[in-house]
A and B are shown apart, each in its own frame.
Chain A
Amino acid sequence: MNDTILKLDNITKIYGNGVVANKNVCIDLRKGEIHSIVGENGAGKSTLMKVVFGIENASSGTITYKGKEVHFNNSMEAINAGIGMVHQHFMLIPSFTVVQSIILGMEPVKHGIFIDFKKAIAETQELAHKYNFDIDVTKKIADLSVGEKQKVEILKTLYRNAEVIILDEPTSVLTPQETVNLFNELRKFKALGHTIIFISHKLNEVQQISDRITIMRNGESRGTYNNEDITLEKMTDLIIGRDLITDYDHLRCDFPDMTKIMKVEGMEVKHKTRYVLENVSFAVKRGEILGIAGVQGNGQAELVRCITGLMEATGGKVILNDQDITKYSIKNKRKKGLAYIPEDRMEDGIASPASLSDNIISTYYDRKDLNNKFFMVDKKIIKETEKLIEKFSIKAKNSKQKVGSLSGGNIQKVVVAREYNTNPLCLVAEQPTHGIDIGSAEFIHTQLIDMRNKGAGILLVSADLSEVMDLSDRIIVFYDGKIVAYIKDVKNVTENELGLYMLGVKHQTAEEIGGALND
């Protein structure tokens, strides 16, 4: 069981826009082991797996599989070679049955033309049995639980004779019980000679299941360790770090009346039996930035959707300026003083073919000073736009330029400028500087602090720990849909400590967490 089945030698991947996703990554995988790759968002785990699975091409470096150098041009080649991948987002068709989903693309035939359903059912049933999957292969995908759907995805890879199975954050959609089941199955796979690559950021689970662990950070490997040779603290240490500390202290000033402008109480989102959000309570005060730290996928996105009105929670309240706005429409929430910078600026933050000015007024186009009796006053709108272009140093030809043709940083500035200009009581900023250049990012940070100084309460949701620590006055940490830590004194907390919470190693008491709402 000690021979290497897959070897990655100095894999480097640089994207067209200059982003270095992987840098000289070396990993060797031994046959029959469960090997975890851990890291936070942006560490390069997903990119690395895309390279292995043929979805992306490495810029340099080699992959050796079963002793031979290989280069997969697409995922079919990887699959045919015996590498299977279970993605985070399942690729299943709801109206198909389990059998159909498994055999699609590789159907057994009889008489040369017809699908041999008998054989298909027999084969898939046998496969399920062999791996102890208790599943009825004639059921429709739509009727399965999430855990069962994942089993189907795994069966798909096994049906194609996968020897190496890559699982990308498999437990993020499972209930605790389903996670236990999954781990039992993985051990069975191992016993049958399969090699498992387990990608995760949940260190407790990684510690339970892995033989060896590779830690990635900033596109590089920080070493491969035997499970028994490394502690959770040491792992956290290697995963979390702050490269750039920016001190914004000189920009901050205190706002005199720091009342709680927004309160979230007992927010809960439940999908069938799984809690996506559980009992989340906190308050945002005027004149402060409350940061939510956490690896993406732990419920933060759902929290933001519930607050902003894009999703209905199954329980809990959102109170803005002492009014219960939980069930308000998006328009009314905005009218009451809520503003929002969405995570996906291209999809949700702008209308790409529309002009800069059209985009920058979208949340207050009906303001009285921009309109006269019947028409919108173009002159005033242009003036307002130009005012904002100047204040935010937006690099554009003019107000009429199509906003989609601006650079990423400038597009984000348009979004921020717009929300800034609504003079909100509370601004929800989701990954506000994701994927943009440092100059624009810093500029946006200063604008956020400016808003904070003037009395807005800002809820900052970011997977970038540096950003959260640079900007926030108080911090809460999300893990697995719950608040696991509340940090009142940001100055004196280290990124390591936050990391322990983010990665599920540590957990504050209910009383300590209660401070998020009650302080």
Chain B
Amino acid sequence: MTRMEKSAHFSRRTLLKASGALVVSVGAPITFESVRAADDAAAAATKPPLTPDQLSSYIAVNADGTVSIYFGKMDMGQGLSVAIRQMVAEELDATFDRTKIFIGDTATSVNQGGASGSTGVQEGGKQMRMAAAEARRVLVEMAADKLGVPADQLTVKDGIIRAANDAAKQISYADLIGGQFFNVHLDWNGKYGNALYAPGKAKPKDPKDHTVVGQPLPRDDIAPKVFAQADFCTDVRVLGMMHGRMVRPPVAGAVPAKVDESSIKDIPSAKVVWDKGFLGVVADKEWNAIKAAQLLKVEWSDATPPFPDQAALYDHIRKAPVRKREVAGKQAGNVEDAFKTAARIIEAEYEWPFQSHSSMGPACALVDFKDGHATCWSGTQKAHFVQTGISAILQIPQDSVHVIWTTGPGSYGRNDADDCAADAAFLSKAVGRPVRLQYARDQGTGWDPKAPASIHTVRAAVDAAGNVVAYDFLSKGFSRIDIDTNGSQPKDTLAGQTLGVALRSGDGFGIPGDSYGFPNKRTAWETIAPLLDRASPLRSAHMRDPVGPQIHFASESFIDELAAALKVDPVEFRLRYVRDPRDIAVIKAAAEKAGWQSRPSPRSDQRGDKVSGRGISYAQRGATRVAVIAEVDVDRSTGKIWARKFTVAHDCGQIINPNGLHHAIENNIVQATSRTLWEEVKFDNRSVTSVDWRTYPILDMTQAPEQVDIVAINRPEVAPSGAGEAASRPVPGAIANAVFDATGVRIRRAPFSPDYVKSALS
């Protein structure tokens, strides 16, 4: 359905009215009498500021008794909205079906960090849980005053507060405060983003009393999408809107030297927007914008081809000067000394390519810049950061930018969404009209920020008795924050970089997440400079489970190599060294569910081209633990691998919604299988050459697993940790170990494409 948006500068007030909440402040101290009657003027005058230390920034009770939840993180399709509603309904003792959630709108929510690091429940939910508990406490106090019953003699169910021993004495949340604001101060830690935390005086419930949390409630956004009734950010339109397309250079680093506007003069309404390296076109009709971008004649500056030959990528990483080295994580003993006394040293090196988000649709954003204010509809993971980024690009105050997160075409981290919002903002300002910009496919795949390529060298010292006495793990690669995880600064968006802001590449990588208790242990990383120090299609940033798949491909393959070298069963070998009880539990649970038979790898009982194998891998991601067993079929004659079956044991503490968790795990497994077997950004010395689904293939339906079995370990007493990404990281190692089990050949480079595997097997 076409929806025309009104792109006025929304106030929170108008939005709350639109969402059913009237707005009147509850003045402190909190008594029923202090609640003033609702009218617009009073509301505007007494509305508490939208700041993290105000309860009203998170929760409102509407006149009809429904509860509005304002959330500063986004649901990228993993059911976070439902989980947050469950956590709020639980603490508030409100009816789940009468809660509504408004997410990622800078006019109605504070910056809780957006979608980031699988912290939707872990950090975002934690805050919303505390806010809801505080709201309940405040409401019960108000009821105590109103009913003349001590607060500790009141109970709450479905938003009705009742005296425990007098059924006649009751009052609803709606009667107490419906349509009015809380004006309750929270104890904010002063931080924005994922670290934002602002509890009140209330304590949350004991998990044993939970009735809503833990239920497999369905998502309510699926039916509207299936019946074509939901709008994505690609579908928002405003009056007077133009369509934009960007023009990128054929050689990365080149800038337009001459632009022949007459080359598109026959395309109705088409205009060029050119400023330094920034080059785009707009037109009233989308197809005309596309044609204009294709037909525009541009002479580009001479640019030295910036990239090495693809075949030399890993050599480049090996030889490149180290820009930053960090020894990180829990170290033990003295690794160098321990290696001197080793009876045997085992070493290996692993390689992982650049990978692309390649979201299902290229990024799209609509920006309406008018009268010094900008309104932006974007599928970004981080609306509040995009607000800052647009204010910087347009050089207007942050308060003059309103970003409305709207479901986007898929997102797994810092993809092309934030670049697109900044580009659209610049186009809108340049032409004085609202501009809807959607990238072309070759820009979505070719020019999105990339997961960094890396090499990983691992060595272990083994004593005469076959014990691992030292372990030394080193990653070296491009930085995970060559550009930052969000588009809040011009240096981190293509718009900023093409307009001449210098790249300031950050340094970051990571280390394995495990609890192997080797007596001497060192884990470290090193970063190298980007291949091009300005707008680059190989700039690297966060992609789902940033650097997790590559690091654990190496670390868990290597553990398997040790087990094989010492002729020990891979599960048994891990259990000898893993120290954390929850790590042990996921490994055992996966093995039990999969019916794991104890024996060393590889198998030695198979002949012929078609062979099968099994492999295990496990990892921690923050407080979450995942063990994955892969069972694969390998065709030696073609090199083709089918990851036929996965068994996953997953522990993320308390499970908020088993339905959402199941899908999150399953989708991680399948996407990570795609990355392991198929995905590699290709480039020549001029630019990226994998620019669509043929040149950047992903897993297709014939390659999807036959079965994914999941053991979801629930620990209600343990604070929930993330599930959005954790199951991705053990997958490459599990598949590699299964291929070794099947063939006796160790694959140390991703992706395990048929050609590469065939050559490795021969």
Q: Do A and B come from one complex?
A: no
Residues in chain B within 8 A of chain A (CB atoms)? none
